[in-house]
Amino acid sequence: MKSVFKELVHAPWSAKFGFCVIILYVAVALLAPHLAPYGETQVVGDGFAAWGAQFPLGTDNLGRDMLSRLLYGARNTVGIAFLTTMLAFLLGGLAGLIAALKGGWVDMGLSRLVDILMAIPQLIFALLILSVVGTTATSLVLVIALLDSTRVFRLARAVAMNVVVQDFVEAARLRGEGTVWLVTREILPNAAAPLIAEFGLRFCFVFLFISALSFLGLGIQPPTADWGSMVRDNAVLITFGDLTPLLPALAVALLTVGVNFVVDWMLYRSSGLKEC
């Protein structure tokens, strides 16, 4: 823990900025009910009120406080994106490690399945499935996690392939250890670094993906405060030169930039290419 902190002091400004942004968002997501002046779905005034003392960022199309919804949005949008990414990693990562470990027809079958799923653009596939099962938060999380796990599978399998052929894995096998031991004790610790960086990238992708779907009206459904649909609901204001509808979009952009900066730094560090 101490060495991570030490390295962070010497990190470029972009990585430090990224860390600050991530910490800020996590804090807001956890403390949203204490920070927000009004309730998440509480109608407190007229629609589209201007910025002022009572409503710091004005109100939205239905007269709900913009600032409160923005703060609750951190909890909902980021939370759902995080949950989806976790699920995708659990599914894809585990399948990838097992494919690399077992080899043979297990590997063959899983890899071909992933190839086929990846042949369809993700957004189109998600739209197709959501049109059949309907747009609820649960189906959203499951569909995107499934689609995204294909990317995780590819990486986890490729990384684990390099570990599986090492002597210590062979030794563990000869000792008679089971699959669970091999995955958790031998392979995972040696495949962690690239997987953590990938987690950041996938989180960004999922986060943007969910925001885009919500913006299209097919993601997180009202009245839940969510940044993508907040832009959609208040977009009319932009034609009057008002900045307010762009704030949720800015919130999405800021977090993605932050995470990307951190991941970029981690990849740069682990590649060992300081001068090149």
Partner 1 sequence: MNSILKLLSQRLALGLLSLFAVSVIIFLAVGLLPGDIAQAMLGQSATPETLAAFRTQLGLDQPPFWRFVHWIGHLLRGDLGTSLANQRPIAELVGGRLGNTLCLAGLAALVSVPLALLLGMLAALYRNSWFDRLLNTLALSAVSFPEFFVAYLLILLFSVKLGWLPSLSNLPPDASFGMLLERSVLPVATLSLVVVAQMMRMTRAALINLLASPYIEMARLKGISQGRIIFRHALPNALAPIVNVVALNLAYLVVGVVVVEVVFVYPGLGQLLVDSVAKRDIPVVQACSLIFAATYIVLNTLADVLSIASNPRLMHPKG
The residue ranges that bind partner 1 (CB under 8 A) are: 14, 115-116, 119-125, 127-134, 204, 208, 211-212, 215-218, 228, 231, 235, 238-241, 243, 245-246, 249-250, 252-253, 256-257, 259-261, 264, 275-276
**What amino acid occupies position 162?**
N
Query: Angle of helix 227-234 relative to helix 66-73, nearest 10 degrees?
Result: 150
Question: What is the spatial distance between Cα 184 and Cα 179, in angstroms, rounded to a whole number?
Answer: 9
Q: Specify the residue, 58 or 93, whose C-beta has the smaller distance to partner 1.
A: 58
> How wide is the angle at C-alpha 18 spanned by C-alphas 157 and 72, nearest 5°?
95
CB 38 within 8 A of CB 63: no
Q: Specify the residue, 186 or 233, whose C-beta has the smaller distance to partner 1.
A: 233
Neighbours of 227 (CB within 10 A): 28
Name the minimum Å distance from CB 201 to partner 1. 10
Name the minimum Å distance from CB 31 to partner 1. 25
Q: Specify the residue, 195 or 210, whose C-beta has the smaller distance to partner 1.
A: 210
Q: Specify the residue, 193 or 235, whose C-beta has the smaller distance to partner 1.
A: 235
Question: What is the spatial distance between Cα 69 and Cα 130, in angstroms, rounded to a whole number?
Answer: 26
Residue 65: helix, strand or coil by DSSP?
strand
Name the minimum Å distance from CB 264 to partner 1. 6
Q: Specify the residue, 71 or 218, whose C-beta has the smaller distance to partner 1.
A: 218
CB 209 within 8 A of CB 122: yes
CB 65 within 8 A of CB 42: yes
Name the minimum Å distance from CB 118 to partner 1. 9
Name the minimum Å distance from CB 198 to partner 1. 16
